[in-house]
């Protein structure tokens, strides 16, 4: 059973209007404002605070620093094959994704597998909104991107890799899709920032300080390096993301993204790789319906008392849609301040 909200709540639609107006007031064109507001508000709605409205300030700072174009119109470069490219022209990633999504899904249905490459974007958001847009079309999805050098490789002591998120989704008909989406660092950097803002120590094992020594102090962690999840395993997956969604797609790796920006106080600029796969095409001619077999696996997982990834998020979404979102006083003040800017 979920708790009743203890603070006054704002509806998801009202928050979406408010965030869109803040972005439009800051000079965003309609397409950029709409896509970015939808992503940020979805994060807040689903209880993903590290990529919710707290990110607005960083986005506006990045615009003011001239490192992202809030009026950029993304451009589709599609030669009709399995790789579809969207040039973001230095805008934020969500508008570029929205442009590429229909072609990606259509091509995945035709070929079984298609890839969307987004180049030259500013990317700070969670990947699950993109993955859910793909599973909503009955396709499986896999998305990844670098960020900027803030994570030490396993066995190393200084920031080199990004927090490099990896997300996957599997469609489940009328049921919510199976979706996971996580940083390849122990936690997203946004979590460290939220601990710093709340004056709370970090759990052990998240980070090292500038001297490479373990720390639970968020300030020291931000000045030092975060650690990959799963030691050498997370480090290798993170490196794979640098290769596939950085070097391979002709875009910046995390160390290059940090060089380009010169700071971690702005949102990073790089590319993104998104794959869409049609399970029916992959399973063609083989025994068993892949969708039914997947359901068997999910049932077995749940049967052990484990939960599926995104179950917490979908529950938070249901609560937000029926009861609204309870913002803290600090969050209400943040929105008011950004409106006045
Ligand atoms: P979390 O560790 O909070 O969650 C990771 C995933 O694991 C979620 O899908 C979550 O589902 C699931 N999960 C958590 N606990 C359990 C459990 N007990 N059983 C089953 N599943 C579980 O994520 P991170 O802090 O690593 O990342 C947060 C966000 O940050 C991601 O959305 C990511 O895309 C984003 N990010 C973006 C970056 C960028 O450059 N754009 C960089 C780094 C991160 P649930 O949500 O339901 O709890
Ligand atoms: O939370 O690690 C993070 C992050 C980096 C860039 C965008 N989000």
Q: What is the model's pLDDT at position 156?
A: 93
| Overall average pLDDT of the 34-52 stretch | 96
Which stretch of 13-22, 59-68, 190-199, 310-319 has the lowest confidence by average pLDDT? Answer: 190-199
Residue 253 placed within a domain: yes
Ligand 2 pocket member 140 (CB < 6 A): no
Please say if the pLDDT value at position 2 is more than 90: no
Ligand 2 pocket member 313 (CB < 6 A): no
Name, in order, each residue with C-beta under 8 angstroms of 166's C-beta and a sequence gap of 6 or more: 127, 142, 143, 144, 181, 182, 184, 237, 241
- What are the angstrom distances between the C-alpha of 18 and each of 37, 51, 183? 9, 17, 28
pLDDT in tens, 57-83: 999 999 999 999 999 999 999 999 999
Q: State in Å: Cα 10 to ligand 1 middle.
A: 24
Residue 325 placed within a domain: yes
Q: What is the CATH number of the domain that holds 256?
A: 3.30.1370.60
- The first and second tokens of residue 46, run together, are 């689903």
Is 148 exposed, middle or buried, given 0-12, 13-18 or 19+ CB atoms closer than 10 A? buried
| Overall average pLDDT of the 327-333 stretch | 93
Residue 53 placed within a domain: yes
- Please identify which residue in the block is written with the tokens 């119109």: 73
Q: Would you place residue 341 in the very low, low, confident or very high pLDDT band (cuts 50, 70, 90)?
A: confident
Q: What is the model's pLDDT at position 14?
A: 97
pLDDT in tens, 194-253: 999 999 999 999 999 999 999 999 999 999 999 999 999 999 999 999 999 999 999 999
d(CA 130, CA 40): 13
**For residue 186, what is the DSSP state?**
S
Q: Would you place residue 1 in the very low, low, confident or very high pLDDT band (cuts 50, 70, 90)?
A: very low
d(CA 203, CA 66): 35
How much of the chain, in percent, has pLDDT values that exceed 70? 98
Residue 190 placed within a domain: no
Residue 126 placed within a domain: yes
Residue 263 placed within a domain: yes
Which ligand is nearest to the Cα of residue 97, counting in written order? Answer: 1
Residue 217 placed within a domain: no
Residue 91 placed within a domain: yes
Cβ atoms of 135 and 177 within 8 Å: the answer is yes
Nearest alpha carbon, ligand 1 atom 27:
182
Report which ligand 1 atom has the smallest distance to the Cα of 312.
47
Tell me how many domains the chain contains: 1
Domain range enclosing 258: 9-185+228-279+320-340
Residue 56: its H or E element: helix 55-64
d(CA 117, CA 100): 9
Q: What is the model's pLDDT at position 6?
A: 56
d(CA 283, CA 112): 10
pLDDT in tens, 140-170: 999 999 999 999 999 998 999 999 999 999 9
d(CA 143, CA 23): 26
pLDDT in tens, 102-126: 999 999 999 999 999 999 999 999 9
């Amino acid at each position: 059973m979920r708790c009743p909200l203890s603070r006054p709540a704002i509806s998801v639609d009202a928050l979406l209007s408010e965030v869109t107006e803040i972005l439009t007031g800051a000079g965003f064109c309609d397409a950029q404002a709409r896509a970015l507001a939808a992503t940020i508000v979805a994060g807040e709605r689903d209880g993903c605070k590290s990529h919710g409205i707290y990110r607005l300030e960083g986005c506006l700072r990045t615009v003011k620093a001239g490192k992202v174009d809030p009026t950029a119109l993304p451009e589709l470069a599609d030669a009709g094959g399995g790789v579809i490219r969207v040039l973001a022209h230095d805008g934020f990633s969500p508008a570029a994704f929205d442009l590429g999504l229909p072609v990606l899904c259509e091509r995945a249905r035709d070929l079984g597998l298609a890839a969307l490459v987004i180049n030259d974007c500013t990317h700070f958001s969670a990947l699950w909104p993109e993955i859910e847009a793909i599973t909503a079309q009955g396709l499986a999805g896999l998305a990844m991107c670098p960020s900027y050098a803030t994570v030490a490789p396993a066995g190393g002591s200084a920031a080199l890799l990004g927090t490099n998120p990896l997300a996957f989704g599997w469609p489940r008909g009328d049921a919510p899709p199976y979706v996971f989406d996580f940083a390849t660092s122990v936690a997203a950097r946004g979590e460290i920032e939220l601990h710093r803002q709340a004056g709370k120590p970090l759990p052990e094992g998240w980070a090292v300080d500038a001297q490479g020594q373990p720390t639970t102090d968020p300030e020291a962690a931000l000045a030092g390096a975060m650690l990959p999840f799963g030691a050498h395993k997370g480090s290798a997956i993170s490196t794979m993301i640098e290769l596939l969604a950085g070097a391979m797609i002709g875009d910046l790796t995390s160390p290059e993204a940090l060089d380009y920006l010169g700071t971690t106080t702005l949102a990073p600029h790089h590319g993104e790789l998104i794959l869409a796969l049609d399970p029916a095409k992959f399973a063609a001619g083989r025994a068993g319906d892949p969708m039914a077999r997947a359901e068997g696996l999910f049932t077995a997982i749940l049967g052990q008392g484990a939960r599926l990834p995104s179950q917490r998020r979908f529950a938070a979404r249901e609560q937000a849609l029926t009861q609204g979102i309870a913002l803290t006083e600090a969050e209400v003040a943040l929105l008011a301040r950004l409106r006045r800017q």
